[in-house]
Each structure stands twice: as C-alpha cells, then as structure tokens.
Amino acid sequence: MATTSDVRSTWPGDGAPVPSESEILSAARPLVAAGLAVHWLRRREKAPIDSGWSTAPVHTFETLRESYRSGSNLGIRLGEPSKTAAGYVHLVDLDIRDAAQADDAWNALLALWPEAREAPFVVSGSGGESRHLYFVTDRPFRSLKIARSAGFQSVFDPKKDREVRKHDWEVELFGTGKQAVLPPSVHPDSGEPYVWGMEVDWDLLELGVGPLIPSNVVSGWGVSASDGGDLSLDEDDDLFALVRSGPMGRTEAEINGIWADIPNADAHHDDIAE
C-alpha cells in the first residue's frame, strides 16, 4: 500500500501537485552520488531555501534528506561545486521566448557547440521550446550570456514592479554562482513538472562517455574560468556583469562624467545598461 510520502501531494489553494518526499529523494540520490551539488528550492518556486546557498557545503545524501521540507523543489549549483569524476557540471540555458525564432536560437548555439542537439537536457514545466542542456568540462567556468536575439519585447515583471526588456531568445552558460531547477520539481506558474528529455548517464560519464566538452572549447565562447572569488550573486541582470567587469581603464571621475552625459536621465539603470 502506498504511503503519504509515495504519492504527490497538492499545493494548498489550487490543487496543483508537488513532488512527494520519496519521489524527489529518489531523483536526487544518483546526482549526489555522482558529485553534484544539489539543494532544496522553496515549495513550487525556483529560489533556494537557504539564503547562503552559493557558499554552503555540498550536501551528502544524509544531510539532504535531513533538511527536506514538505513539497520542496530540487535545484543544482553549477560549475565549481558540482565536481564529478569526469569534471565539472555546467548547463547551457537555451531560453526561447518567441517560438517562431527557435531555429535562430538553435543555430546560434550550434555555431558554438555543434553537438548540442545530442546533449542531455531538461524541459521546463513552463512548456515551449526552452531547454537546459547539460555538459561536463575539466575546468569550472563562470556564467555568461553568450548569444541573444537582436529583437526584444517589453514585459511587466511583477518582482521588479516595472516593465523590463526581454530578448526573444538568449543563450547563457550557467556556471559557478548559478543554480537551476531539476526534475521532478514543479514550475511555479504552470504547476507542471520539469522533466528530463534525455537524462545524463552518470555511470557512463565516469568512464568518459557522455556530454564532455574540453575547457579550451568553452573558453572559446568568451567565458572566464572560475577563480574561487565571490560569486554569490545570481547574475540575472546584465548590469551586475557590467559593474563587476571593472572600470575598463577609466577613472571614477570619467565614469561619473559618462553617466552624467547619458540622455533620458529618468530611465531605469537596467534599460540604460541594455
């Protein structure tokens, strides 16, 4: 007879299912055994429960099980924390907001990574053409947006309480300092589960068979290797990347002068950076 922990429970108020304890721990066990840094996300959300997630110790299966909260989603810390026998786990976030431009997004990715269509991938619970494509490399890398569409749309962001620009598609490397949602987590908006379109065979990967990309190839995408510095910010906003890249040889006074001369002083700083 099935126990309460063997079946999906429901989200109070809307009846949408959330992963059961046994289901999500079963999914996490082989990942932990392979060396991945998995952690808990808030119930039906993408955000980690632990505010210090980026520098927290990597869970053993025992500590992961002990820290479980009912209905939690499951996430992974990419790059340096997720070290397997074959190398460091990363993913490419192929974020396609306009399905009509899916071919353009894929072509941009394939120009950098010709084997991308053969890679293990996760399909978001939001549906659509977006994918998380997993690979392993011999060095940990930082996160970086490596391609995006010229076109964009202005959409309302309830978290920022304002209009923001969203490109029709973007390709981003998720590395050290980034985290992502793992199956069988539930998408916060649709209530549908994240699923593996093609799973990673962690046993074969240990033998050198799987989505392995040499670090010199990844470096060719314009990405910097992790140096163990402070990477606690989740760089969703391009402005963070601009600020943290340094003053590009200019003095503080010169930088202040540039900002003072920018027209439309009432514009939000995110739009100026864009």
Chunked into runs of 10 residues, the chain (274 residues) has average pLDDT values of 46 66 97 98 95 96 97 97 97 96 97 97 92 97 96 86 92 97 94 95 92 96 72 40 42 50 45 42
What is the predicted pLDDT for the residue at 54?
95
Q: Give the separation between CA 78 and CA 199, rounded to whole angstroms.
A: 16
Residue 238 DSSP class: H
**CA angle, residues 214, 86, 47, in degrees to nearest 5:** 90
Q: Which of 61, 248, 244, 94 is nearest to 167 (CA)?
A: 94
What does the buried/exposed string (b/e) look like for 120-158 if buried means 16 or more CB atoms within 10 Å of the residue's CB? bbbbbbeeebbbbbbbbbebbbbbbbbbbbeebeeeeee
Give percent helix, percent strand, percent coil of the chain, each to the nearest 5.
25, 25, 45
What type of residue is 188?
A: P
Q: Is 95 exposed, middle or buried (0-12, 13-18, 19+ CB in 10 A)?
A: buried
Judging by beta carbons within 10 Å of its beta carbon (0-12, 13-18, 19+), is residue 218 exposed, middle or buried? buried
Sign of CA dihedral 263, 266, 272, 274: negative
